[in-house]
Amino acid sequence: MGRIGVGAMAVVGLVAVAAVAVAGVAVGRSVRSRRRWRRVLGVLRELEDACETPVGRLRQVVDAMAVEMHAGLASEGGSKLKMLLTFVDTLPNGNEKGIYYALDLGGTNFRVLQVQLEGRRSSIFPPEVEQQPIPQHLMTSTREDLFDFIAASLKEFVERKEVSFGYSPEKRRELGFTVSFPVKQTSVSSGILIRWTKGFAIHDMVGKDIAESLQLALARNGLNMRVVALVNDTVGTLALGHYHDPDTVAAVIIGTGTNACYVERTDAIIKCQGLVTTSGLMVVNMEWGSFWSSHLPRTSYDIDLDAESPNPNEQGFEKMISGMYLGEIVRRVILRMSQESDIFGASLSNLSIPFILRTPLMAAMHEDNSPDLREVDEKWREMLEVPEVPKKARKVIVKVCDIVTRRAARLAAAGIVGILKKIGRDGGSITGGRSRGDARMRRSVVAIEGGLYTSYTMFREYLLEALREILGEDDARHVILKVTEDGSGLGAALLAAASHSSTPPPNTVDSVQMP
């Protein structure tokens, strides 16, 4: 064989070796990548198992909610559920008249409202509403700073709205003040802030009367206005719900935070022996965000989120359900997956930033109906500043959002049925009392508010589906979830009107039929 022939053979040999090596590397890479992918799927499966909410488990949560409600009513500190008295025993009924103001302090924004009531149910609208963001630094400063800022804005709002009928500084005005934080009320118009939630931290306000702090700021700012009703946002929502539909027995908020209130018999409020109201009823603010039960399906992500939060061991239910936290749970799961695999892109340092994945963004990705999940890709890239996300990773993101949202919505449904059970309006399908279709199953309306329910379709659908599963189709038909737009603010103005009027309207909470 000539030189050329030997040389050619050597080249062929080298090419073959190289080809084998390349193939080997490729095989190695694909084996590794398959292994990593399997790990991602493992994390996903684990999450799915840990978040399972079969109807049996939901019924256990229903029972636990009802039991905790009893315990919270029996003694102060008897349950994680605070079951706070509101001193609201008269719900608005449509007879209210006059101009009332409301201030709604709920989260990152506050709203001011002017409401004109004409003594007829339908004549409440349209209210004048203005919303303003609370500057970030005021959310962690002093109560004087916060309330001076709010009082000045309120004064400016009043001057503008009253200019057409002659603004007079001497004129006395009445205000309903909605506070979407836990407050231990001492009367219908006063109460002590128990603690902040949802990112607020004004330490000198905790343990002090929040209505009085506002009242002092109104005086400092020269606005003649009296806080005549101090209400939780759930109570405002209940008031508006009942104004429109007297079968309204409870109200639930599922937004940045979550909570519920309902109408209770005063004789069931054992911790306040001797509590007497003309109606024999009182609205109770449950503060259900702090509900806890061993039946709640808790994952390692929930445990870590809680431990790293500013309020560990508090608001356990809220941390599984509400808009403030759902995106954060998803972020934690995907961070864990990205540590197992690079399918989400190589550089993911932004994914380590807590709360970078906000729930509205999560909802947009979850509800992406495009065949190639374009929205998921866009949102993910924008948020994390990473290149394109492979399609299979997009699918995983959607699946994680689905698991987390489904669990939240189903638990919220169980909470609602828990309230119905406590007041005997679950038709016996849960209590094991009477059979379905029994005459005892009365129409029960639950007023509902909050962006998670109103704007996140999948969340709403999962919640309604779970209600039907828990109650059964027949009984579920008697339970109506009614969105009360702007209830927290409007309801406060209505309650201000109801509590201000010297002669109580004839149709009080008595008109809510109680068992």
Q: Which is nearer to ligand BGC, 291 or 380 (CB)?
A: 291
248 backbone dihedrals φ, ψ, rounded to 5°: -75, 120
3-class secondary-structure state, position 501: coil
**233 catalytically annotated:** yes
| Amino acid in the structure at residue 93 | N
Q: Which is nearer to ligand BGC, 258 or 405 (CB)?
A: 258
**195 catalytically annotated:** yes
| Amino acid in the structure at residue 177 | F
Q: Which is nearer to ligand BGC, 233 or 264 (CB)?
A: 233
What are the residues binding ligand BGC (CB under 6 A)?
A: 106, 180-182, 197-198, 232-234, 253, 255, 257-259, 287, 289, 318
3-state secondary structure 314-374: CCHHHHHHCHHHHHHHHHHHHHHHHHHCCCCCCCCHHHHCCCCCCHHHHHHHHCCCCCCCH
Q: Which is nearer to ligand BGC, 324 or 467 (CB)?
A: 324
The end-to-end CA distance of the chain, in Å, is: 106
Q: Which is nearer to ligand BGC, 234 or 338 (CB)?
A: 234
Q: Give Cα separations from 514 to 262, 265, 273, 281, 479 (angstroms).
A: 11, 8, 20, 9, 15
User: CB–CB of 281/264 below 8 Å?
Assistant: yes
Q: How far apart are CA 480 and CA 246, in angstroms?
A: 12
| Pick from 176, 180, 207: nearest CA to 189 | 176
CA pseudo-torsion sign 394, 398, 404, 407 = negative
User: CB–CB of 303/93 below 8 Å?
Assistant: no
Half-sphere exposure of 353 (CA within 13 A, CB side): 9
| Pick from 264, 315, 332: nearest CA to 73 | 264
Catalytic, out of 57, 195, 226, 358:
195
Catalytic, out of 79, 180, 293, 429:
180
Catalytic, out of 209, 233, 302, 426:
233
Q: Which is nearer to ligand BGC, 183 or 396 (CB)?
A: 183
Residue nearest to ligand BGC (CB): 257
Q: Which is nearer to ligand BGC, 105 or 389 (CB)?
A: 105
Kindly state the smallest distance separating residue 415's Cβ from ligand BGC, in Å: 13
| Pick from 407, 294, 312: nearest CA to 67 | 294
361 backbone dihedrals φ, ψ, rounded to 5°: -70, -40
**213 catalytically annotated:** no
Q: Which residues are catalytic?
A: 180, 195, 233
